[in-house]
Structures are given as C-alpha cells and as structure tokens.
Structure 1
Amino acid sequence: MNLLLLSVIFLVSGPKGQPTTALYSNGFSGAVGTVATESSPVHDIQDYYSASTATAQMDGEGHLQSVNPDQAAATYRFRLDPTGAPSEKFGAVKLTADVRVPSENWVGFGFHGADAGGILTQGADAGPWALIAPTYTRVFGGCVTSNALDIIRTDGLCSAGDWITLDVTYFCRTETVSLQINDHLLIDRQPISHTASFSGQTETPSLQWAQVQFFYQEAGTNGGGIVDRLIIETYPGLQGPEDQAAMITPHPQFLWNEDSFEYGSEPIDAYQVQISTESGFRLLVVDDTIQTTRYVPVDPLAAGDYWWRVRALRDSGPGNWSLARRLTITEPAGVYTVPSGSSASDIAAVLAVADNNSPAMVRFERGTYRVAPSSDSSVLSLNGASDLIIDGNGSTVMIETPDAGFSSLKSCTNVTVRNFSIDYDPLPFAFGTVTAVDTGNNTFDLQLWDGTPRLDDDHMAAAQLAGNGWGVLLDTKVPGRLKSNVNDFYRTEDSFAQVDTNIFRLALTAAHQYRISDFSINDIFVKLSRQQGLNYVFKSKDLTFYKVVTYAAAGANLVGSYCDSVNVLRSGSRIADGRWASGCADGVHCQNFRNGPWVQGCSYQGIMDDGANIYAIPMYVRQKFSNTSFRFYNTATYDLRADDQLTFFDPLSGWPIGGARIVSSTATNVSGVNYVDITLDAAIEGAISAGTSKIHTTVYNVSRNGKGFVFRRNTFGDSRRYGLFIKSSDGLIVENTFEGLSGPAITVQNNPGWPEGLNSSGLSVISNLINGCTFSSYILNQERGSIELQAKGYNGTAEFESSWKGQSDICIQGNTIVDWQRRAIRAHCAENLLVEGNVIANTVDSFAAGQSNYAIYLKNTANAFVWDNQIDDSRSLTGTIEVQNSTNVVVLGNTVP
C-alpha cells in the first residue's frame, strides 16, 4: 500500500438529506419504473459515470429495488475513480445505506474494479463488499470466492422487513474493515484481503466502482430488499507520523496530503489540527488552523500519549476529520548532566557519552558557562547523532572565541537544542559614535563605546582583511535600525589611524567614497567581524531549535545545507542593553533543503543581513551527451534522487531552458576529477552552455529548494536588508510582523548574479503586518516594494529584470502595509496572482524621497486578480493601482483615496 491512506464511505443516518462532505448521494426519488442513473455526483468526480441494469428501478416512493426475482445481479453502479485500482487519495471508505432487510437471499453493497459491467460476486479485481440477508450479514474481501469473514447472525438485531442503517468502513492502509448495523458495531477493524480467483494471488482490493447488487430479489411490494438512500463520504488519510509511533522528539512534524482532503471543486481555505491527550479529543493541547499540509507544535509536547487528527476548512464548512492517529512522546531513558562551570571540552565529553547511549538527554545545570572552543569549531558539535535532546535549562553560554560557533550538527536526525541564551565576549562587532567627517578625504572618525572590541583586535582585523569587516550607519534613536535614505553598507580601507583614546579614523574605499555624504556627526556606526554561523546544520533531518536566543553572533543565527525539516521555534536574536546590534549576518539561511524550515514565534532584531533566505544553489554542466543525458560538475549534487525535478536556466536571457525529472544519477571520476552523470525523463531541447561561471547554464534541483517552508507569527525588526528572501515553492508566510527593515519585508526573486535560485510557485503571503520598511537609498533608487515579486537574468556584470513570468500561483492576501516607500506591493514577472484584501495606509505625512510612489504596481504579469484592497494612504501618491505590460488582469472592488 502507498503511505497515504484510502477511504470511501457510504453513510446514512437520521432523516433524508446528505452531509455537506458527501462525495456522492442518491435518494432514489425518480419516477416509478425509471432506471437509477445520474448525470453527476454531489461533488466533482473526474470522468464520473453511472449505470444500471434495466431491472434495477425506482419505485416512485424514494426507493431502489429489483423488479426481476430471477436475476442474480440487478445492479446500480457508479464510477468513483477513473484511474483504475485503487484510488490512493483518502483514508477510509465507509459504505452506508438505509436498506430494508430482504425476506430471502440478500442485497450487497461494495466495490469492484475497472469493468463497468462487473458485479460484486464476480471479477478478478472485485473490491471489498458486504451483504445483508434475512438472518445474517457478511463481509468479503472481493468476489464471493475471496476471503469471506465469518457469517454474523443478526437474530435479535434485525429481521426481514426491518429498516436498518448499514455502515461498512474499509481502511485501506491497514486493509481492515468495520461493520455496523444501526448503533451496533459488529466488526471492528478486522483484517481482510482479496485473493484473485484466476491467479490465487493476494491483491489490493479495487475501489474504482461502487455498486448495489440485488441477488434474486422480489420487488419491494413482494418482500424484496429495497434501498432508501445511499451516500459516500470520504475520510482523509494522514501521512505521518505513523499510527502508534513513539519518539522522544517533543516537536514532531505532522504531515498530510492535500489530495486526501479533496472531495470536490471547492477550494480548501485551511486545515484544522487537533492534538489531544485522550482519544475522544475532549482534552485538547492543540486546536489550531494552518494553511499548509504540515504542522509543528510551537511548544513541546510533554511525555505521554497523544491522538491527532486533521480536517479541511472551506467556505461551506468543515470537512470530515481524518482518521485519528496515536502518538507517544517518550522520555529519554538516559539523562546526562553538564555540571555548572564546565569548559568546552567538558561539554564535548558529556555529549559524546550521550550520543553513544541515545535516545538520551543532555541537561545543563542552570548557570553561565564561559567557554573557549577552538577556532572554527563549536560548543555543541555532533556528527551522525540521533535521538538527542540538549537542554540548556535556561543557561547562558558566553563564547570567548570570536570565530567559533555554538552548535554544529552534521548528518544528525531527531536532535533538539533548547533553552539557551548565547553571547560573545569579545563581541563579533564594534560600534561607536561618528565624531568627525572629512568629505574631502572621504574619512570619518569613530569613537568606540565601552564594551566593544578595538578595530585592531585580532578578530576584527582578520575579518577586515577577508572582506567581511564592512559596516552600517544606524538610526541614532533605534538600535539595530539603519539610518534612513543612506546606503545599506560601507567598506573601509584595511588601514586606519588611532587619533585619540578609543577614536579611530577610517577611510571609505574607492567604491564607496561617493557615500561619504551619508555620514554626519553623532551617527552610530557598527563595524562587523563576520565569521562562521552560530548554529550550523548539514545533511541533517528533523532538527529543532527551541528558545535558543542570541545576543551576539559572528554569522547567521542558523545556517544550513542539504537538510530536511528543521524547526526554529521561539528563538531569534535580541539587542542587549547598551548595544546597537545582535548579529553580523542572517537570521535563518537555508540552501538546498529538501523540505524547508518551520520558523514560528521567533523575533530577530538588530541583525545585519536578511531575516531569512531560502534557496537552491545551482549545479553546472560539464558535458552534454544527448538531450536527456548530461555530466555535471560535482557541485551541489549531494542527494540527487530519482524523480527529482531539475530546471535548466540561462542567466544571459533570464529564461529557463527546460525541465525534466531525474531517472538516474551516477557518480563518476575522470582523470581524478569527480563528476555526476545524469539521465532525465524528458529532453532538454535548448542550447546548453557548459562551464562553471555565473553566465553558464545553471541547473537547479527544484525538489531541493526548501519547498514547504513556514514562517508564522514571527517578528523581523530593526535590521539590515530584507525580512524574507524567497526563491522556493509551496511556502507559507503568515501573521508575521516586519518593522524597521531597510529593505523589502518580503522579496520573492531569483538571484542569478550570486547565484541563488530559482523561482517560486504556490506561495501564500497572508495576514502579515509590514510597518516602515524599504528606506535605504540603495532600495529607494530601485523602485522596490514592501512585498515584491520579480524574475531576473545576469549579463556577466549585473542582474537585470527578465521578461520571464517566473513567479507563479502566488496569493498576497489580508496583509497590512503601513508607511511604505515607492511600492507597497510590487508584482513583476508573475502569473496566476491574487492580490486581495490588503490594507495600505500611512501614519507619517510624507515619503522619504521624491520618487514615484504607487500602492500596487503590476508589470509583466498575466492572470492576476487585484480585488477588495483598501488603500487608505493620505500622502500624495503617483498612483494607487498601476498595471503595465500585463494581460488578463482584473481590478475590482478596491477602495482608493
């Protein structure tokens, strides 16, 4: 069986009618003597078709009956799944009918395979079915010769002539069945199988056609069995964790598949997720909604048993709950203590013991740990570890090695790091006040604050020489926030002069000398010593960082490559009292993740690069053997899998060349050089430019672009550059706050000049608050947006806007954008776009610069809907909604000044 569950239901109880979630319903209300056929089901079913033998007719009183007692198979059938056997969309199949018990022989309800003329009692691919007879009921795995369960007598429960509700539920993943008559459960998830009569082989039952079969039945007036109503409902299935799974991970990832929740054409708005400590869901620990097909609890689940379920939410109401699954969170048997005052080597020794005895917990005694790991190493370093919880217990770790990190997790699985505060002494950045500016010599004097490193300290000088010692000008009133309408970084010459106690004279490099006019006396300047990432993850899966709060970081708070499902929860960066920054690089930086990160409840303040960056790094072509066969350089080729989707991209045109899926990948060595040979399932027809520079053909593994990422209820504030830099698919950005960022809050675009890519599709940007972003001069001069979409090419010198509509299937809905600059929403190079219900407003009286300012700006778009947006901005706008070089754009119901 496929990992997804399958479910089909015939469900009837109470008065006539149908559940809103019914896939199919028939009350047989036709005229007497008419054959029971329909043109369509309740909800859309692909290639739906129904048929009936001439002797299965309606009696004019809302019933279906047989009118030929000599016929063994008077049938009514309808096709549920045109693809063959079996459908893998759903979780369980419940067949329910209101039926009058016959006076002799039986009436059957069930499934059969692809043959439209098939019947329940015959056929090699018959599916599970049940019958009701005058004194008994029985369930079969397939045709009448196949794996029948024991006869169940119905004496005392019902008899000939009684009306009953018959429910038969088939659970495909476990291949079990339940049978209920009225309120009496007669069979409870009993295993059942189907043995093909022609081969003797066990087969997965087919659920392609559903059917009612009258076996030698008189008409209803003569005591024959009749059917009053027939309904099919689908119960969704779940993907993982498996039912009755056990794990120590307190933040498990819950997964399901959208297809399992579909029963018609009405779109799904969101999913409701419930987690309970008892099976009846009366003691809920989680009752939440999410707009994607996965869920991670933001707070840990305590050890114990849990039941979880999911249902789809639509405008018409909620769907059926999925089948509930049980999950057990276990306490690690081994607990290993890190004593207060331990050194870096002491901590490493405890980790090694725990790693060798996992599942285990490493618990720090609460306190402050001053540690000095070796250069380019980490305090917590694990390789190949699994099933560990490392609990700081609220401790502070003070790192005394400026170019060391806090954690390094390589090839790890199911590792949780939680409850730590991280700081550095000395700090990985210096800050001070500008005391003098010499525009003629392009210099400025910087008086360092107490507690900051000197510019000639080893780590500061090393970063400067490596090109990682640039700096930024900050707002003098708001720590972390860049100065408005100036450049967003400055490089200085390697040499500098000390002109007084703690005062240094720095000169801008030739490339930045024209920006000396940005500097004023009393400005705050921060100079970085950008080094390795604070938390580094590599080739790992199912990692969680919970309440890991950083007050200083030499690099990104979290940086990782080739990982799968990393959670960052209630963590982030804070600006300590008396400081002006917290980190030298990004908040969350993910490259080539197979499944993207889940980031929730975090706050990033005072970081000097993007809040998050999600992308794939490209591969390069060494040789083209044919349109389906290539040799790649051994760059970014880790974990290529069959069926991975590749996109070949031409930077010079800014357009994709083509795409195909991997059939096979084989490592090879030619003259001592490693390569990877790739075979594809479809031809790449366009011209390929072999080589490894940025202008050559770049190949992106779209299956490893961090798809499915979630940023939920976070704050990104008072920091340099972008909030979120997205080149990934199927992501969710919901209920976040972006405030005081020098660049766009959310930018969705490829970056071929770096290079990073590629494009985004299936992206939802919903209910975010964006306040006072996009104010650096670098951004203002480019007509950027608080939320923006764009596709780019690279000509060897600079990036340019492409004519390719690379960003697709994107929803920008219900966001509030306040005190924006240039563009509140800027959508270029996009198709299948919804911009709906956004509020665009102001609290300040004017724009930062005198350029053009539009609330919503579309260019080179197709199939776009701009609906019901409220533009409530009292400033002087160049325009409210502007559409250029676009097709099929609908602008409707917007409120404008």
Structure 2
Amino acid sequence: MFADDPAFTSNVIEDSVPVPRYVGPYIHSDVQVVYWKARISGANASWSATRLFHVKSRPLPANDFVVPAGSGYSAITSRLREAMAACPNPPTVEKLCRLRFEPGTYVIGQHDAPVGDAVLDVHDVANFHVDGEGSTFIVSDPGISFVHVRGSDHVTVSALTVRFETTTGEPVGHTAGRVTGIDVSNKKILFEVLPGHLPLDSPLVANANDRTWGYLTDPEVPGRIKTKVPGTGASKSVPDFFIFSPGHEEKVGANAFWITLDGSQAHYVDFVNVGDVMVKTASYGPGSYQALAALKALNSNDITFLDLKIYTAPGRGFFGSRANDTKFLGVKLLLQTMPTRRYATSPGDAIIGSAYPIGHWVEGCVFEGVMDDIIAENSLPVYASAVDFIQRTLTFRGAKDRLDAGDQVTYYDPGRNVAAGPFRIEQACLANPCVVTVSGPLEQVDANNIWPKGTNTGRFFVEKEQGQYAYYRGNIFRNSRHLGVNLSLRDAAVESNAFEGLGECAVYASPSVGVWDNGWRLRGFLFKDNVVASCGLGIEAPYRPSIHLGVPVVKGVQATGSNVHSRIRVVGNSITDWEGAAIEVFNASGVEIRNNTISDEQKSAFASPAPHYPIYLKYDDGVVVRSNVVTDVRMMGDSGQVVKAVSVGGLDVLDNEWVTTVVHFADGYESESSAEPGASFTSVDTAVDVAGQFLEATSTAIGANRTYFPTRLGSSAPNLTVGWSATVTIPDTAWIGIGFQESDVDNGFFAGSNDNTGPWVVLAPTAATIQGGVWTTGSISRFADVWAPGQSHRVEFCYHPATRTADLWSDGRPLGLGLPIQHLDASGQLADPVMKHVQIQFFGTGVGNGHVDDFKVVTLPISVE
C-alpha cells in the first residue's frame, strides 16, 4: 500500500506490484515523500511498519564533479572529497551532488590505497550519486574495497563495472589449480596452477591465517562444487571445503606446489583424485576478510546500487551493518568470461546484511560462482565472555555497533537447562571488546561456566529483532558453493527467482546462534513462484533441503505449541532435483504450502541417495498442504511420503497428487512364488519408451511379478480419501491387480489374512473386480463385460475410509459408485485398511501386451484433523 501521508489517507494505491513500479504516479505531483507498507500473507495479515522513499517532483539542482577518463587513485579521491564537501549530511541545502566518471577504464594498482580502505570512501553525505557512465575499474589490490558508504543518506552508485584482477586479467580474490599428484601418507596435494591464475607464492594470493581453504569444482559446470568421487557410493561424497595449513606450501617447478591439509582434515586426502580442479581462497592482506567487500555500507540509510557488474571480489560482494533501506537493482556478480578463469567470483558471501538491517531490496540481480552464501541476511553472533559481579558488568566480544543501551540479553546454559535474566544493557557497545553495565539478577549466573570456560555451554543471548522487511524478486542464483538466501529476519518475500546448482539449499531461514528465542521470529514469510533446480548438491548437514524455514529454537523446546515462527507461505514454486527434503518447515504456526510442483530423480551429481521427503514438517501447528503435485520422486523404502510430519497439530492435507511416468528399479522389481499352486513364475519384461510408457508385460507366463510404489500419505490417515488412476491395456487371459497395502509384502493380493492389504481392483480380460481385502478376506464386487483384451481404458478408483465405500470409473463412465467395502483384520473383524503402499501386480499366463501407463495416486479434498 502506498500513500503520500503516514496515515495512508491521501492518494492511496493498493496492489502487490513492487515498490519501484509506483514511482511514476507521483513524479508529476508536489509529493516529496511516499510512504509504503506491506503485508504478504493475505487480507487478514498484519501490516508491516511504515517505510518511505523520496520522490522529487522536479530534479534537484545538481552539482557535477567530473573525473577525467583514465584518472588514477589520487585524482579520483581528490575529486571525491570536493563532491562530498558540497553535500554534507545532514544537508544544509536541498541539492544533489554527482561524482561523474567520464566513460573509460580506470586502473587502481596494488598499494595505491591504504590496506582496508576503499577506492571510493563515501562518508557523511546526503543526496549523493556516483555515476560510472559505463566505465570499467580494474582493482589489482585484494586488500581494499571499491565503494564504502558510511554515515550517509540517499546515496546511489550506478552504471559501472569492477574487476578485481591484475592488469593481465588474473583474479586476485582466489586462485585455481589442477591436482596432479597426491601424497596420501603426508596428506599433501600437488596443486598445479591453471593458466590465467596467480601462483601460490604471489603476495596477492598467499595463505592468510583467517582464510586458508578451498574446494573442488564440478568438471562440467563452472562455479558448481564437485560432489562425488567417480565410481563410488555415498561414502565417497566429496567434502564441500578443504582447510590447508598456512605457510606449508612447497614449490616444485614453475607453477606447481605441494599444499598440506590441516590436521583436522587429514583424512580428506582420500576424497581427492588426480585431475580434479580446486579453487583456493586468496589472502586479504593484513586485515580480516570480514572487513573487505567490493561494496560496503555502514550506518547509512537509503543506499541504492544500480546496474553494476562485478567480476570477482576481494572478500564479499557487499557487506552492510546498520544499513537500512538498501537496494540492489540489476547488480551482477559474474564469473569471468575467459573459459580458463570461470571458476569463482566472491571468496565470501555475495551480499551480507548484518547488524539488524531494516528494509532490504534485491531485484533483477545475477549471482554465480560464489564461494560462500549468496545472500546472508543475519547478524553475527554476539557473546559475553566475562562477568564481573562486583561492578555488575558484562564483557562482550563482536558486539561493536550491535548492542544499544536498553537492549536485553538472557543467560542460558543448555547443559543444565538453566536460564537467568533478562539483563538490561545500560550503555551501547562502541568498540570490540566492550564492557557494559547491566541490571538484573547476575547472581543467578554461573561465572565459571560462561563460554568459553567450564563446559562451554553457558552463553548470553540477545533479545533483539535482527532485521525486518526484505524483498528478493526476479533474481538468478546459480552454480555456487553454499546457500542461496540465508535469512535471519522477519517479514520477507522471495518471489519469482531462479535457483540452480547450489551446494546447499535455495533458502535457509534460521536464527543466529547468538540470538535468544524471543529475539528472532520468522513472521510473515512468502516464498512464491520461484524455480528451484538441482540445489542441495553437497553433503553438509543440515542445509540440504531446497527450502528450510524455521529451525528448532535455541532453548531446545521442540514440541507442538511452542512455535516461534508464524505466517509462512510456500506457494506456486517449481522444485526439481533436491536432496533430503524439498520443503522443510519447523516450529511454526499458520503454515500454507500450496500449488507447488515437486519432482526429483536420482542424479549422479548429488552427493548421496538419502531418504527423500517432498514436504517435511516438525513441531508445527496449523498447517495446510494443498494442491501440490509430486512427480517422479526417488523412493527410498518407507520414506516415500508426500508429507513427513513429526509432532504436528492441525494438519490439513488436501488435493495433493502424486504422479509417476517411469519405473524406479532401485526400489525393487522382483519375481517370487505366489501362494496359488500350479502358477508359472517367469520374469516379467518391462520397458519405458519415449512416450512415457509406464509398465509393460510381454511374457507369456507372467507369474507373480509386481512392483511397489509408496502412496506418500505419511500415515494411514483413516479419514483421508485416496484414489488412483491409470491407463491400462487389458491383458489377454490373465489379469492385472492394483491395490493398497500397509507394507511392501511379497505378494500383496495373495498375502495371508494377517497382512493388511486392500482394497484391490483386479482388471481381467473382460471384467473388473473390487475386493475389500486380500483374496481370502473382505467383500467382492464384480463388473462383467466391461472391456476386451488389448483395449486401452482410463481406469479411476477411489476409496472413502470415512464411509467404507469405493467408486470405480472406466473412461469417465461410472461402473459403480458408493460400493460398500468390507475390510477384515487378522481376527476377522471389520477394520480400516492401512494404505502406505500401492502395488501393481501382473498374474497368470497370457498377459500378453497388457501394460499400465500414466499412473497417479491422489488424495482428495477431505481434511485431516
């Protein structure tokens, strides 16, 4: 919703189109400020806090400060100081200052700028524009950033390309080499530097104590991680990073180096093959890599990065702390164009919004080859490392600019399950470390067991909202080592993005480990109309699902009713080829998972054939799973379920559909004897052709062959209507049976009366039969002369446990509706069948060319209480 007053009474616009689309209606008015707020969970949801952006009815008087093409670092910084002096913050006169670069190429050499500094250090300004006009900047020093915005408001950086590389094109943020030898006994790898990359003894890429790791890359797809040792199973899945001992490089030849694995990872040498390509992080100079980024914004508001291209980065693509209303529009973090250099871009995260960001907009951007998370919207952990009971102070590390006067922290020791507090902080943290006075019951704290002392379990956790209001739309996240979007904030929407080839999941929403339960809640989260493909390639738990929302809370409270997250919507997404689970939602209430298409097959690129769940719910309450289509999911034993639910209350599973068009032989397609004497049991021939033929029998003596398919209901669901449909070519003289059963018993239709199996539909050459249970139990309904051998018919069947009745159709024509079904248990008593599997069984001789095609299992719209 948009208006020109904070009460939303004047010139109101209501719609769901992104905010930038609404600048137009106000341009020709006298409005100076437009107010907006959002809700992302429907008409009954609460509105976000009111935000604003500035709209000028006339362009501001502009002061242009032109930088001549080809200028060096000194000339650029001199002109920048002039421009900043003209537009201080707060502004004395309402005007725009523009630092405009003449189109051309600008080269920043090594040591031109002080280590840890930036090419453009934009500070304490308002209404300021850095306009690159399409220029290219080559920055050869990995120890500096490109743009650093601090203490400023309403700043735009636009229309430029930055390449962190030498003047001959070698990237300075990382290097790459081919493994040409392995010394297993000494845990060494012979690293031969690839063309177009700097050697390990170059000062630009030498090991730094804080970043000494690398990873193996996919041999076919630039930017992706390698996941499996060829010809091996899950036990040889490749780790997603390798740590090396700093200062242990041994040069052999012009560009080859022996590098030694860190002692903690010495066994990782077994996962490396000769011929592998490894990307290795570079040095970041004397400073920490956390301080370096191509783009930075600290303690600023309304910062826009528009139409930028960045090829490699010194540390991160962007780092922000207390940077509110930050917008990335058309920003691209790209692999280099030369094929021999297309391995990585940013050694750290592409974008990290830290220290409680409010208002973060990312639209139309492209990120690839990122060596850590692509977007990490979180606050770094804040820990108290000492307590003084006499002075009543706490000493924090890592808390500079992250703790304010009035904030609260809570002490918790999970080892003893003891909590104390909350404690009020009386002064802001302005340095690292910082000592602050606190009020509260400090005597309840065990001073000998505060991390890192004692058993290392007691910590002080921050009770503070980490961040609010983020929107990601129309972006491409592809071929990177770790997570796509890592969120620790509330009120966020991820809409119409493409995620592909990520080592971990597309979206992972979790609280920082330094935040107390009441200080972080995922509230009002929308994941809509995204395409997720081949994500979760790696092996690092627990991040392998495609979408993971709301992890177990800090206190370890894991039970229905203790939910801290709310209003979660996962709607209209396409998710293909994933590990573990396609969608996971934990510890949440008010969850809607609707209209998603989920499909997955065994792909050689994935690390392991682990059990797969399309939807995994845990400790949730009030969940609707409706109108989702699940196709071709890898079936791993009894894990084949549409919904795996653990301690979930108020679950509605409606209108979901399972479709398969291929036979998954890994689940077993066997031939064994039946209980019927005199039957012949030769092997069945099966085929899947280009038309999607599902299951075909051509043998003249089919016997008791059958195949199983889990129905993916998640439980027996006694009041859940279940149906199946299939295109069946009728056999010659034998029959095809399709039936439900509790377990994958050897021969479902001929199982003993102690096995819970049924109801069954038997499709014979001219007749159809419905049996309530196995061949020895239950009711029988028979329909004669309904078809002939060799004909193909669309057969549909559904069973209603609530009324114990069944319906059967052929080609849309009802053969029987509301037929009473009697299912008997082992003691002969009337009971409900337990439908966890469905079995297709060919039996008898003369099946001929009978086959089953386009088979579907469907749940119908009956709520599960």
* 2:548 equivalent to 1:788: yes
* Residue 325 (structure 1) shift: 10
Q: Which residue does 1:862 correspond to in 2?
A: 621
State the alpha-carbon separation in 1 of the partners of residues 61 and 475 from structure 2: 30
Q: Deviations over 1:243-286 (max 9, x none)?
A: xxxxxxxxxxxxxxxxxx8xxxxxx978888636567x9x99xx
Q: Which residue does 2:274 correspond to in 1?
A: 521
* Equivalent in 297, 304, 310 of residue 550 of structure 1: 310
State the alpha-carbon separation in 1 of the partners of residues 115 and 148 from structure 2: 13
Equivalent position SS for 2:345: coil
Equivalent position SS for 1:636: coil
- Relative to the length of structure 2, the TM-score reads 0.62
Query: In 2 relative to 1, CA 669–443 (structure 1 residues): closer, same or farther, beyond 3 Å?
Result: closer
Q: Which residue does 1:421 correspond to in 2?
A: 161
Aligned AA (2:358):
N
Equivalent position SS for 1:772: strand
* 2:132 equivalent to 1:380: no
* Equivalent in 567, 577, 589 of residue 819 of structure 1: 577
User: 2:472, 2:495 within 8 Å by CA — same for their partners in 1?
Assistant: yes
Q: Which residue does 1:364 correspond to in 2?
A: 101
* 2:486 equivalent to 1:725: yes
Aligned AA (1:437):
I
* Equivalent in 279, 293, 297 of residue 533 of structure 1: 293
836-845 vs 427-436, which moves further: 836-845
Q: Which residue does 2:147 correspond to in 1?
A: 407
Query: In 2 relative to 1, CA 548–837 (structure 1 residues): closer, same or farther, beyond 3 Å?
Result: same
Aligned AA (1:418):
S
Aligned AA (2:308):
V
* 2:252 equivalent to 1:499: yes
Equivalent position SS for 2:468: coil
Q: Which residue does 1:214 correspond to in 2?
A: none
1:72-471 to structure 2, matched below 5 A, reads 91-92=8-9, 275=22, 277=24, 327-328=56-57, 330-358=59-87, 359-372=96-109, 373-426=113-166, 427-461=172-206, 464-471=207-214
User: 2:427, 2:437 within 8 Å by CA — same for their partners in 1?
Assistant: yes
* Residue 408 (structure 1) shift: 1.4
Aligned AA (1:471):
G
Aligned AA (1:786):
S
* Residue 807 (structure 1) shift: 3.4
Q: Which residue does 2:373 correspond to in 1?
A: 610
Q: Which residue does 1:638 correspond to in 2?
A: 401
User: 1:751, 1:792 within 8 Å by CA — same for their partners in 2?
Assistant: no
683-692 vs 393-402, which moves further: 683-692
State the alpha-carbon separation in 2 of the partners of residues 350 and 734 from structure 1: 41
Equivalent position SS for 1:363: strand
User: 1:275, 1:307 within 8 Å by CA — same for their partners in 2?
Assistant: no
Query: In 2 relative to 1, CA 570–882 (structure 1 residues): closer, same or farther, beyond 3 Å?
Result: same
* Residue 455 (structure 1) shift: 0.3
State the alpha-carbon separation in 2 of the partners of residues 324 and 408 from structure 1: 22
Aligned AA (1:432):
G
* 2:620 equivalent to 1:875: no
Aligned AA (2:244):
T
* 2:656 equivalent to 1:894: yes
State the alpha-carbon separation in 1 of the partners of residues 209 and 301 from structure 2: 32
Which runs of 5 or more residues in structure 1 are unaligned?
7-88, 93-170, 172-234, 239-260, 262-267, 285-302
* Residue 661 (structure 1) shift: 11
Equivalent position SS for 1:888: strand
* Residue 343 (structure 1) shift: 1.0
Query: In 2 relative to 1, CA 791–363 (structure 1 residues): closer, same or farther, beyond 3 Å?
Result: same
Percent identity between the two aligned chains: 23
Equivalent position SS for 2:527: strand
Q: Which residue does 1:215 correspond to in 2?
A: none
Kindly tell me the number of residue pairs found equivalent between the two proteins: 605
* Residue 559 (structure 1) shift: 0.6
Query: In 2 relative to 1, CA 724–623 (structure 1 residues): closer, same or farther, beyond 3 Å?
Result: same
Equivalent position SS for 1:353: helix
Equivalent position SS for 1:785: coil
Equivalent position SS for 2:179: strand
State the alpha-carbon separation in 2 of the partners of residues 637 and 497 from structure 1: 40
Equivalent position SS for 2:658: coil
Q: Deviations over 1:394-434 (max 9, x none)?
A: 11111121211111122121111111211123322111222
Equivalent position SS for 1:348: helix
State the alpha-carbon separation in 1 of the partners of residues 257 and 396 from structure 2: 47
* Residue 759 (structure 1) shift: 4.3
- Relative to the length of structure 1, the TM-score reads 0.60
Q: Which residue does 2:853 correspond to in 1?
A: none
Aligned AA (1:590):
G
User: 1:657, 1:684 within 8 Å by CA — same for their partners in 2?
Assistant: no
Equivalent position SS for 2:242: coil
User: 1:546, 1:570 within 8 Å by CA — same for their partners in 2?
Assistant: yes
Q: Which residue does 2:568 correspond to in 1?
A: 810
User: 2:552, 2:586 within 8 Å by CA — same for their partners in 1?
Assistant: no
Query: In 2 relative to 1, CA 624–328 (structure 1 residues): closer, same or farther, beyond 3 Å?
Result: farther
* Equivalent in 473, 480, 492 of residue 223 of structure 2: 480
State the alpha-carbon separation in 1 of the partners of residues 509 and 144 from structure 2: 32
User: 1:660, 1:684 within 8 Å by CA — same for their partners in 2?
Assistant: no
User: 2:250, 2:258 within 8 Å by CA — same for their partners in 1?
Assistant: yes
State the alpha-carbon separation in 2 of the partners of residues 588 and 696 from structure 1: 31
Query: In 2 relative to 1, CA 655–404 (structure 1 residues): closer, same or farther, beyond 3 Å?
Result: farther
Q: Which residue does 1:768 correspond to in 2?
A: 530
User: 1:371, 1:400 within 8 Å by CA — same for their partners in 2?
Assistant: yes
State the alpha-carbon separation in 2 of the partners of residues 561 and 750 from structure 1: 17
